Amino acid sequence: MQCKDMLGSLSDYLDGELEAQWCAEIERHVAECGNCRVVVDTLQKTVLLYRTYGHEEIPEDAKDRLYAVLNLKAVR
């Protein structure tokens, strides 16, 4: 397996949606290729960072305004 062959499968690999045989090939390649190892690790970290810190709560005042608008519409 070459570097470019695994690139397209990395998201499926990280999401656990890749067949076992392909996973094994990726792991074999990554064990020998430092660049691809970094790509896999940092790609995984990228996803993890957004999952952990990417979510923003709607501000309370925006929520209040939203409820106010919707109540108004419902009453009419």
Residue 19's φ and ψ, nearest 5 degrees, are -60, 150
Query: Minimal distance in Å, beta carbon 52 to another protein?
Result: 9
Residue 46 interacts with another protein (CB under 8 A)? yes
CA distance 10 to 16: 10
Q: Total residues contacting Zn ion (rule CB under 5 A)?
A: 3
> What DSSP string describes 8-42?
TTHHHHHTT-S-HHHHHHHHHHHHH-HHHHHHHHH
- Of these, 58, 60, 75, 76, which contacts another protein (CB under 8 A)? 58
- Cα R_g (the chain), whole angstroms: 22
Binding site for another protein (CB under 8 A): 4, 7-8, 10-12, 34-35, 38-39, 41-47, 49-51, 53-59, 62, 65-66, 69-70, 73-74
Binding site for Zn ion (CB under 5 A): 3, 33, 36
